[in-house]
Amino acid sequence: MITSLLSAPLVAQQTTPLDFARDVRPILSENCFQCHGPDDNARKAGLRLDRREGALADLGGHAAVIPGRPDKSELIARITHRDPSERMPQQKTGKQLTPEQIATLRRWIEEGAQWSEHWAFVPPQRPALPRVVNRSWPRNAIDHFVLARLEQRGTRPAPEADRSTWLRRVSFDLTGLPPSLAQIDAFLADRTPAAFERVVDALLASPRYGEHWARSWLDIARYADTDGYQYDRERTQWPWRDWVINAYNQNMPFDQFTVEQLGGDLLPNATVQQQAGTGFNRNHPITIEGGVIDEEYRTEYVIDRVVTTSTAWMGMTFLCARCHDHKYDPLSQREFYEFFAFFNQVPERGLQGFEPRIAMPSKEHDDAKLALATLEATVAKASATLRPQRLAWEKSLVAKRGADPWVVQDPAHPTASSGASLEALPDKSFLASGGDLGKETYELLIRTDLTNITAIRIECLTHKSLPHGGAGRASNSNFVLSGFEAAARLAGSTQAHIPLKLASAVADYSQRNYEIAKAIDGNPGTGWAVDGPTRKEDRVAVFTPTRPFGWEAGTELRVRLQQHFGTGHAIGRLRVSLSTQAGVGIQAGIADFAATEEAARTPTQRRSLTEAFMKQAAPPVVRDDYLRIPALRKNVAATNARRVRLMVMRDLATPRKTHVLERGEYHRKLAEVTAGTPAALPPMAKELPRNRLGLARWLVSGQHPLTARVAVNRYWQAFFDTGIVKTAENFGSQSEYPSHPVLLDWLATEFVGTDWDVKRMHKLITLSATYRQSSKVSRRDAVRDPANRWLARGPSRRLDAEEIRDQALMVSGLLIDKIGGKSVFPYHPKGLWMEINNRPGYSRPYPHQTTPDHLYRRSLYTFWKRTVPPPTMQAFDAPEREFCVVRRSSTNTPLQPFVLMHDPQFVEAARHLGARMMREGGKNNRQRIEMGFRLVTGRRPSPSERAILAGTVTRRLALYRQDSAAAARLLDVGVSKSGKPLDRAEHAAWTAVARLLINLSEAVTRG
Amino acid sequence: MTHPIDEARSLATRRQFLARGASCYGLGAAALHSLLTGEQTGTGEHRTTHVGGINEGLRGLPHAVPKARRVIYLFQSGAPSQMDLLDYKPSLEKLDGTELPASIRMGQRLTGMTSRQSKFTVTKSPWKFRQCGDAGIWLSDLLPWHQRIADHMCLVKTMHTEAINHDPAITFVQSGHQQPGRPCLGSWASYGLGSQAKDLPAFVVLLSKCTDNQAQPLYSRLWGSGFLPSNHQGVKLRGSGDPVLYLNDPTGESLRNRRTMLDDLARLNELHHGQVGDPEVQARIAAYEMAYRMQISVPGLLDFSDEPASTWELYGEDAKIPGTHAANCLLARRLAERDVRFIQLYHRGWDHHSNLPGRHPGIARQVDRGSAALVLDLLQRGLLDDTLVVWGGEFGRTVYAQGSRKKFGRDHHPRCFSVWMAGGGVRAGYQHGQTDDFCYNIAEDGVHVHDLNATILHLLGVNHERLVYRFQGRDYRLTDVHGKVVAPILA
């Protein structure tokens, strides 16, 4: 129908020259490009019709198009061929040219076959305002463009809408909520010319604005609270949702909105919020299905990002080029994978690919950190004051210290299995260097005259020659002692060494899961490690045999240190001591530590000493403070663990290689490619990095032909229900030609020229005369322009699912207007989640809640489970959120009345609306009816409408007076209380009226 | 309390009055005509007509005289094991216990669950098969009731698919694409052909209650409309709670009072329509009337008390328990009687990676009798001729054992699996295709998922290449750019 509206006048008015982009190219694209278009592999007969040189090319004595000579042009011959088997387009394509289309093509060739590129790939030029006859009508530039087209068509714009209609319209379009009675009264009373602007400014400044505008962005960003595939488990991406709300409320310019979502993590010194923006490209579904092939799904995620990003910012259908060159648009398969390369750098997996994530700041964690810091500062201050006491205490420790229970040993000929050399140092330790940095075993032979030996101590000591000055030989300073073995024999004997049974092993520190006991558990796969990467410290371990040993005539002790972990995870500097004291262990060290010079003490030693001092010698106040520190530390860790983890984008340090994938299949790699943008679009500036940040900056450079057009077209769609380009998700060759192409270019250039100021653009549109028109459909309109593409009347639309529910909450007074936070669980039918997914550990029943902060929040906060979307939302055309959606459908189904009549959410809202009418409406029925009617429609009822509703009140009152049980059933729906007691029958009757009001067609639309 | 149906009957006159009244109001004939015939935009995006949920389908469809007016699809989610149920393989007696030769496996990719297995031991079915009916189709003793309908079955033993995991495979079978986003088969049927029932939707979904908590989940996208207008998504009829979501008034309002309310509502809406002239208002009025009719018809649909004793003899006592496979098969027959276009049933729990010998009998018992009873019931009521019944899962299972031989399981197998159909224009008592001796590859006459879907549409009188929807500049169809109607299985 639109085609005929667009082209009918053209065929009739032979005087207007054809416009290739509007009149000809769409015919060629639809009917010819599939075989004669950009796809090199699918091209037939060597003919290419998406380029002028192709159309004019000599194909051996003939050409498809010979300008000025339609009768010599093969194209005309073939599309009019008598023989159906020769006629183009071929029958099997199912396409057929109309006589009008053939006439257009003929005329186009006659007129010289002028050519232009597809309009959407040519950057918009700033147009001049067109002349209009009715110069008093336009309120701003938009109106000039709209009116000029109307005047060309010989029509006039509609009169202004009622003020109350306009107010309801603009309130929903900017905030997704109806105006309050106070807002209506104020606006109706304000007869100054600036009244409209004041309303718009107030709505734009309302936090409700950000919530409403975020909501359609969530559809585009396929945002949800679950993972989507298979068991569809829960995730926590809501901080990203709040990021979007904030961005709109702060009027973040669209270029920044773009940069932070596509490449915020790559900005220099990216803030947490900037990183959070990149959650946009992690909102895609993720699988946990056990059997999947990892790379297959990782590839799908990257493709999802390509598709979503290209649709959202460029209105391009990139997906078509996944398996082959695009059939209609100049986008090769290779270019698809060059674009893919931008998004292919995330350090992620296909199966359970939730990383990378960041921890979002939380108040409780910040509070916990502050409490800890405060306490630590107090203790530090007190410790400084106590320093003289501390020094005295340490001195006394040293004085009281008995003889050192350890005798340092001097092993002869230590050997290393790796071939490392072990150099003896003056302190009797020896230092490893060289050798093959793989597995290692040290063997030491110790000749001693001690008897009754009770323990063997090894010290693992740091040294500046070791990696990072630590105690281990691995490049990260760690070591793993897999096995400690000791064996002894009488000195000089040639008998085998007798293995010592070890009773225990203790260490001053062990890494988690690498406890010292694992050095003597007989399992070479486990061992003792010391967190070398973070702790460059001396370490001590003491091994106690089950029985003391040592021969009177001298003992030869053999110690073997197995270090099987590999990659050089061996001790770097080692010293061995023996003790003959019973019960000797590590704890004996405190006095030793005190004896060590302060600067030479390790952090562990320092900590041990402080702890002992605090416990033994500090004043109780300080001691208690000190002892509270661990609990606060634990709290810091616990609150940290509770911080919400948000999936964000990151790039690998070493780029992942990207290949063209044959038929788009993850494992069929063809040529390697690097990140780049399609050749048909303006090139990326040289100075831009070839990563997502560069890509984002390229999109918002102001030179890009699509970004601004696509964005303003989506805004237009939100205000006028249909975009200037109806196919808001596709601006390519197969898109619908814009209804107002010049206006689109003006808006796009205006948007860029005002630094991508979103609120300003919304203000411009809502204050236009075009937007202010009445939406009343005359019989003539219904026939001439049923879809209202020419805008000779105002835009009416059905409200979206969220708006319908939010309105009910607002007019009933139940709405809780808190912004952001965790998703909530309002009323929901019982059993819905479990009936399709009931696996323990993978699914749970819907967590029904009874508190207002769950039941009455705006719908964009409702928990979104992709495999079972909220049914109230689904009934009114909300998408599942499994993929990017730019336009929702708008349907009428019998399921919608069911929701409005029977969902407890709406029945309960009606109860509160009924109570409001009784309490606030006034004494008589007429006033009460008027109030309720105004709340849900924004206008006063007509006398006939009032009469019908008055009949309802009377009938229902009689009914509920007779049947108190029916009244009770109606008033019992929903968990909320009704406030101060009302007459039950009367309340039920008004509730029934309120239900009727909520179900009005007018209540679910805005005129 | 008055029975809803009686109450409705007494109100019928009033409704007729209202319906006549509505046509006197408002909208010009031309605009109404455009609403009724659908709209075609410049980009070729079709919009079907929906005057208040009465779904008229597309102009020009069906393309040919349909063999089937409606489809009942008994989907067996999780993947039934073909060599234990429908694909008789005496050759496995000899091969049992041997290693699956590389020449058979041909490097085919395996799931992450068995790809690291060191042995792939061919394991025969532990169940006996017997030759059934005049047609002599061999069927497993796991399906004794199926053995009685052999002569009505059209058994396709050579189905194959592309995905090897549940989520993508179920999504593929139902929507022709492994990733979310495409409309499912039932939505396509609703979009193209519209509704035949005046008080029920074109596309109804039945979920069996699942007792196996290891079972694979379902997803609402499986009956979703993808890029088609969302009124073509399947409407769930549930075994517990509201049979249709929000069908029942939580306040228990009588139909008489509801009728009064709807009359008031219609009058107010008509007044509004007079003011704004928007045809959508009338569509909404009609939607409320359709909802009202559903409120009356659905309880009657679900109330099995009018079934004769012979029904229970046929379906068994299980059919009296709402949510069982048998009850849903009976419900499917009642929906077919009411001329619902596409009835999609889902039964979960076939995914037996371990202890298949212990677990397959249980689930076979759950579905065997109801499935067969449905076919016999449709037959005796004269409905089988124009009702197509389809029975199958998302892929097959491997001939090699997963895990220990004693309590073996079978892994996912996309290379061959079995599906049967009955009625609605398919050849009865016919077997299509041959798998190899290992029941691993197709020996002859493979049928791809796209081919099956093309054939189902064909039986509905729809050319699968011509039922398209313009989305993102491209004409999409259920079968992508593939699919061939499987001629030999047509009656």
- Are A867 and B219 an interchain contact pair (Cβ–Cβ within 8 Å)? yes
pLDDT at B240 over 80: no
Amino acid B9: pLDDT: 45
Higher-confidence residue of A534 and B128: namely B128
Looking at the DSSP bridge assignments, the partners of residue A555 are: A448, A490
- Are B251 and A973 an interchain contact pair (Cβ–Cβ within 8 Å)? yes
- Are A291 and B113 an interchain contact pair (Cβ–Cβ within 8 Å)? yes
Residues of B in contact with A351 (CB under 8 A): 112
Of B253, B278, B291, the CB nearest to A897: B291
Query: pLDDT for A158-173, tens place per residue?
Result: 999 999 999 999 999 9
On the CB side of B217, CA atoms within 13 Å amount to 28
Average pLDDT over residues A708-715: 98
Closest CA to A979 of A915, A905, A913: A915
Distance CA A510, CA B241 (A): 57
Average pLDDT over residues A402-410: 82
Among all chains, which residue has been given the structure tokens 């701003």? A140
Instruction: Provide the pLDDT confidence category of residue A288 given band limits of 50, 70 and 90.
Output: very high
Return the H-helix or E-strand segment holding A242: helix A238-249
Strands B387-392 and B70-77, by their bridges, are parallel
What the block records as the tokens of A540 is 């001590």
Instruction: Provide the pLDDT confidence category of residue A603 given band limits of 50, 70 and 90.
Output: confident
Query: pLDDT for A294-320, tens place per residue?
Result: 999 999 999 999 999 999 999 999 998
Q: What's phi and psi for A907, nearest 5 deg?
A: -65, -45
Q: What is the number of H-type helices and E-type strands within chain A?
A: 36, 20
CA distance B28 to chain A (A): 6
Strands B447-448 and B153-160, by their bridges, are parallel
Residues of A in contact with B50 (CB under 8 A): 891-893
Instruction: Provide the pLDDT confidence category of residue A984 given band limits of 50, 70 and 90.
Output: very high
In the DSSP assignment, the letter for residue A857 is: S
CA distance A865 to chain B (A): 10
Distance CA B462, CA A140 (A): 51
Q: Residue A165 is which amino acid?
A: T
Summary mean pLDDT of chain A: 92
Strands A573-579 and A430-433, by their bridges, are antiparallel
- Are B291 and A895 an interchain contact pair (Cβ–Cβ within 8 Å)? yes
Residues of A in contact with B241 (CB under 8 A): 829-832
Instruction: Provide the pLDDT confidence category of residue B49 given band limits of 50, 70 and 90.
Output: very low
- Are B220 and A868 an interchain contact pair (Cβ–Cβ within 8 Å)? yes
- Are A893 and B231 an interchain contact pair (Cβ–Cβ within 8 Å)? yes
pLDDT at A1 over 50: no
pLDDT at A15 over 90: no
Distance CA A476, CA A474 (A): 5
A724-to-A246, A370, A372, A717, A764 alpha-carbon distances in Å: 28, 54, 58, 7, 16
Contact B362, B210 (CB under 8 A): no
Higher-confidence residue of A840 and A479: namely A479
Q: What's phi and psi for A391, nearest 5 deg?
A: -65, -40
Instruction: Provide the pLDDT confidence category of residue B95 given band limits of 50, 70 and 90.
Output: very high
What the block records as the tokens of A807 is 């309105």
Amino acid A586: pLDDT: 63
Chain A, 274-333: which have a CB under 8 Å from a chain B CB? 285, 287, 289-294, 300, 311, 317, 319-320, 327-328
Query: pLDDT for A488-501, tens place per residue?
Result: 999 988 899 999 99
What the block records as the tokens of A88 is 């183009």
Closest CA to B348 of B126, B71, B145, B74: B74
Amino acid B427: pLDDT: 97
- Are A837 and B217 an interchain contact pair (Cβ–Cβ within 8 Å)? yes
Among A587-601, B199-213, B257-271, B346-360, name the one with the lowest average pLDDT: A587-601
In chain B, the percentage of residues whose pLDDT exceeds 70 is 89
Contact B382, B65 (CB under 8 A): no
- Are B34 and A1002 an interchain contact pair (Cβ–Cβ within 8 Å)? no
Among all chains, which residue has been given the structure tokens 């075609």? B40
Distance CA B208, CA B239 (A): 7
Residues of B in contact with A874 (CB under 8 A): 220, 230, 233
Residues of B in contact with A904 (CB under 8 A): 250
- Are A892 and B247 an interchain contact pair (Cβ–Cβ within 8 Å)? no
Q: Coil, helix or strand for A541?
A: strand
What the block records as the tokens of B435 is 């798998």
Chain A, 706-745: which have a CB under 8 Å from a chain B CB? 726-727, 729-730, 732-737
In chain A, the percentage of residues whose pLDDT exceeds 70 is 98
Higher-confidence residue of A16 and A835: namely A835
Among all chains, which residue has been given the structure tokens 């000779």? A792
Strands B70-77 and B129-132, by their bridges, are unpaired
Query: pLDDT for A207-258, tens place per residue?
Result: 999 999 999 999 999 999 999 999 999 999 999 999 999 999 999 999 999 9
- Are A892 and B50 an interchain contact pair (Cβ–Cβ within 8 Å)? yes
Mutate to test the interface with A, among B182, B256, B472, B480 (most CBs of A within 10 A): B472
On the CB side of B50, CA atoms within 13 Å amount to 26
Query: pLDDT for A639-662, tens place per residue?
Result: 999 999 999 999 999 999 999 999
Q: Coil, helix or strand for A750?
A: helix
pLDDT at B115 over 90: no
Amino acid A585: pLDDT: 67
- Are B230 and A891 an interchain contact pair (Cβ–Cβ within 8 Å)? yes
Query: pLDDT for A608-622, tens place per residue?
Result: 888 888 888 889 999
Amino acid B52: pLDDT: 45
Distance CA A621, CA A978 (A): 54
Amino acid B3: pLDDT: 52
Chain B, 375-434: which have a CB under 8 Å from a chain A CB? 411-412
Amino acid A42: pLDDT: 83
Q: Coil, helix or strand for B392?
A: strand
Distance CA A697, CA A255 (A): 8
In the DSSP assignment, the letter for residue A682 is: P
Among A92-101, A640-649, B76-85, name the one with the lowest average pLDDT: A92-101
Distance CA A777, CA A685 (A): 49
CA distance B428 to chain A (A): 32
pLDDT at A101 over 60: yes
- The model's pTM is 0.83
Average pLDDT over residues B441-468: 97
pLDDT at A708 over 60: yes
Distance CA A277, CA A258 (A): 9
Instruction: Provide the pLDDT confidence category of residue B21 given band limits of 50, 70 and 90.
Output: very low
Strands B203-207 and B235-237, by their bridges, are parallel
Cβ burial, residue B436 (10 Å; 0-12/13-18/19+): middle
Scanning every residue of chain A, which has its alpha carbon at the shortest distance from the alpha carbon of B116?
A291
- Are B39 and A787 an interchain contact pair (Cβ–Cβ within 8 Å)? yes
pLDDT at B48 over 80: no
Amino acid A6: pLDDT: 39
Mutate to test the interface with A, among B210, B213, B220, B275 (most CBs of A within 10 A): B220
A497-to-A447, A491, A540, A546 alpha-carbon distances in Å: 13, 10, 25, 17
| N residues, chain A | 1007
Q: Coil, helix or strand for B29?
A: helix
Spacing of C-alpha A707 from chain mean position: 20
Of B51, B207, B278, the CB nearest to A835: B207
Looking at the DSSP bridge assignments, the partners of residue A563 are: A440
Contact B71, B189 (CB under 8 A): yes
What the block records as the tokens of B109 is 């990719």
Q: What's phi and psi for B375, nearest 5 deg?
A: -60, -45
Average pLDDT over residues A437-449: 91
Contact A344, A302 (CB under 8 A): yes
Query: pLDDT for A827-877, tens place per residue?
Result: 999 999 998 888 888 889 999 999 999 999 999 999 999 999 999 999 999
Average pLDDT over residues A975-999: 94
Chain B, 339-368: which have a CB under 8 Å from a chain A CB? none
Looking at the DSSP bridge assignments, the partners of residue B431 are: B155
DSSP E strand stretches across A394-522? 406-408, 412-416, 421-424, 430-433, 440-448, 455-460, 480-481, 483-490, 498-499, 502-507
Instruction: Provide the pLDDT confidence category of residue A61 given band limits of 50, 70 and 90.
Output: confident
Summary mean pLDDT of chain B: 88
On the CB side of A573, CA atoms within 13 Å amount to 21
Contact A337, A313 (CB under 8 A): no
pLDDT at A3 over 50: no
Residues of A in contact with B179 (CB under 8 A): 300, 883
Average pLDDT over residues B457-469: 96
Scanning every residue of chain A, which has its alpha carbon at the shortest distance from the alpha carbon of B468?
A94
How far from each other are the two terminal CA atoms of chain B, in whole angstroms? 50
Distance CA B11, CA B292 (A): 11
What the block records as the tokens of A702 is 């102001």
Residues of B in contact with A285 (CB under 8 A): 180
Of A838, A883, A996, the CB nearest to B210: A838
- Are A293 and B109 an interchain contact pair (Cβ–Cβ within 8 Å)? yes
Query: What is the secondary structure of A885-900 as a DSSP string?
Result: -SS------THHHHHH
Amino acid B30: pLDDT: 31
- Whether B52 and chain A come into contact, CB under 8 Å, resolves to yes
Distance CA A648, CA A261 (A): 10
Among A103-117, A357-371, B60-74, name the one with the lowest average pLDDT: A103-117
Chain B, 85-104: which have a CB under 8 Å from a chain A CB? none
Of B43, B218, B275, the CB nearest to A736: B43
Of A831, A838, A969, the CB nearest to B241: A831
pLDDT at B34 over 60: no
B327-to-A151, A358, B149, B302 alpha-carbon distances in Å: 64, 50, 19, 10
Residues of A in contact with B239 (CB under 8 A): 835
What the block records as the tokens of A784 is 């001439």
Amino acid B46: pLDDT: 39
